[in-house]
Amino acid sequence: MASTTTGSYTLPEIRHSFDLTQDQRMIRDMVREFALAEVQPLAHEIDEEHRFPHETWKKIVGLGLPGIPFPEEYGGSNGGTLAYCLAVEELSRVCASTGLTLAAHVSLGTYPIYKWGSERLRNLYVPKLIAGEFMGAYGLTEPNAGSDSGGTQTTALRQGNEYVLNGAKCFITNANYAGTFICTAVTDPKLGPKGISAFVVPRETPGFSVEPGEHKLGMRGSDWASLVFQDARIPSDNLLGPEGEGFKTFMKTLEGGRISIAALSLGIAQGAYDVAMKYAQDREAFGKKLSDQQAVQFKLANMALEIEASRHLVYHAARLKDADQVYGKEAAMAKLFASETAMRVTYEAIQIHGGYGYSREYPVERMWRDAKLCVIGEGTSEIQRLIISRSILKGAKAV
Ligand SMILES: Cc1cc2nc3c(=O)[nH]c(=O)nc-3n(C[C@H](O)[C@H](O)[C@H](O)COP(=O)(O)OP(=O)(O)OC[C@H]3O[C@@H](n4cnc5c(N)ncnc54)[C@H](O)[C@@H]3O)c2cc1C
């Protein structure tokens, strides 16, 4: 049996052909060290126990990771999207649940308030979210509206200085520990998606409750739950952006969020490759190492190739966002390719481990289960193909 075990493996150095800045390298190396020392040892346990690792989250906040992409005036470090993606990638390389917790908190729970919130909402909530006083969650998906989120059924009726919300959301990451929930609701049913608005719903809102989520295939160390609104009253000031712009705001939020899910996918793929490579070099069959068998070498070559291509797409999309350029198509491409790469690489990593790969003793089966989220969350692979095809066809018509 090979020496690679869930509890102890080292991470080989990745040789980047990218010109990362000194600050970006520093963040990547710091998170890598932290991930190995503090996150990896818990990865198996939190998956088995379906447990949210509060102790790890506190340390992540202590390292300032939730503030990486935000300006200093809110308590952030102004490090940019790429540095933030490097942090998500490194965490996910050893524990995807932990990467998802950070990605959902930053890209979905905090960024929309920073980007579209009034000055009051920004000042009230963004510093607290960055300082980890509470977590942020994002409620778009409903029992009858996921990919087709224009079909949102939750309603928000204006009554004086308040909105009264009724409806439900499901599969909401970080919901059990969130202090703020960014949610969509229909303010004018006659207008279709243009009648959807976005709101910041504080946890203590009367008529609002968080209900237990379903058991999950993977990402079991990440929290999720359902949201229920029964005449939930929030101040009209908690509208995020103008009334009727909520659908647009959420779609823009998802564009950014997709880059972090792409980074998460890249981390999972890299992590699975790391352990498969080590296993192939340790394990012998037919009198030689697995890594000396050409069929295994070809698997490793394909894995390395797709990971390298994913890294190019992910960092490119992050750099476009950092440069304030249009990045919707590139974010969709990065998310689609990196998440499908994570599925293929984790599948092959299990294959290289043979029967041991199928056992819970090795991390590759967890990585495979975790990777499945990446082809579903923040827009399924089918939806990414729709976004890409619409974008390229629009471009083709313009030529
Ligand atoms: C672990 C996890 C965490 C999540 N966290 C959050 C969260 O924090 N906040 C949140 O709001 N949501 C969250 N989600 C929900 C997630 O975003 C949705 O599950 C996803 O968008 C798909 O929606 P759905 O589940 O309703 O599937 P559906 O929309 O019903 O899709 C079912 C299938 O039909 C396909 N399909 C649908 N429409 C089309 C089409 N037009 N063309 C081709 N194929 C199509 C889909 O690709 C999919 O394969 C999370 C989900 C998971 C699994």
Alpha-carbon torsion angle 350, 351, 355, 359, nearest 10: 10
CB of 389 closer than 6 A to ligand 1? no
Q: Measured from the CB, is residue 173 less than 6 Å from ligand 1?
A: yes
| Domains, the chain, with CATH or none | 22-135 (1.10.540.10), 136-244 (2.40.110.10), 248-398 (1.20.140.10)
Cβ(224) to ligand 1 under 6 A? yes
Three-class DSSP labels, the chain:
CCCCECCECCCCCCCCCCCCCHHHHHHHHHHHHHHHHHHHHHHHHHHHHCCCCHHHHHHHHHCCHHHCCCCHHHCCCCCHHHHHHHHHHHHHHHCHHHHHHHHHHHHHHHHHHHHHCCHHHHHHHHHHHHCCCCEEEEECCECCECCCHHHCCCEEEEECCEEEEEEEEEEEECHHHEEEEEEEEECCHHHHHHHEEEEEEECCCCCEEEEECCCCCCCCCCCEEEEEEEEEEEEHHHEECCCCCHHHHHHHHHHHHHHHHHHHHHHHHHHHHHHHHHHHHHCEECCEEHHHCHHHHHHHHHHHHHHHHHHHHHHHHHHHHHCCCCCHHHHHHHHHHHHHHHHHHHHHHHHHHCHHHHCCCCCHHHHHHHHHHHCCCCCCHHHHHHHHHHHHHHHHHHC
Beta carbon of 73 within 6 Å of any ligand 1 atom: no
**CA 151 – ligand 1 centroid, Å:** 13
Ligand 1 pocket residue status of 46, Cβ below 6 Å: no
Nearest CA to ligand 1 atom 48: 380
**138 CB under 6 A from ligand 1?**
yes
Whole-number Å distance, alpha carbon 54 to ligand 1 midpoint, is 27
Cβ(201) – ligand 1 distance below 6 Å: no
pLDDT score of 10: 64
pLDDT beneath 50: ranges in the chain: 1-7, 399
Q: Which atom of ligand 1 is nearest to the CA of 386?
A: 42
Catalytic residue check, 378:
yes
Can you give the pLDDT at residue 4? 35
Tens-digit pLDDT profile for residues 350-380: 999 999 999 999 999 999 999 999 999 999 9
Ligand 1 pocket residue status of 349, Cβ below 6 Å = no
Tokens of 240: 């995020």
Residue 146 Cα to ligand 1 middle (Å):
5
172 ligand 1 Cβ < 6 A: yes
What is the distance in A from the centroid of ligand 1 to the CA of 247?
A: 16
Q: What amino acid is encoded at 156 in this protein?
A: A
Nearest-CA residue for ligand 1 atom 51 is: 377
Task: Tell me the whole-structure pTM to 2 decimals.
Answer: 0.95
Q: Select which of 90, 306, 340, 378 is catalytic.
A: 378
If one residue of 47, 50, 147, 201 were mutated to test the ligand 1 pocket, choosing by the most ligand atoms within 8 A of its CB, it would be: 147
Residue nearest to atom 45 of ligand 1 (CA): 382
> Is the Cβ atom of 96 under 6 angstroms away from ligand 1?
no
Tell me what pLDDT residue 301 has.
98
Taking the CA of residue 380 as reference, the ligand 1 atom at the shortest distance is 47
Distance 133 CA to ligand 1 centre (A): 29
CA of 383 to the centre of ligand 1 (A): 9
| Tens of pLDDT, residues 217-271 | 999 999 999 999 999 999 999 999 999 999 999 999 999 999 999 999 999 999 9
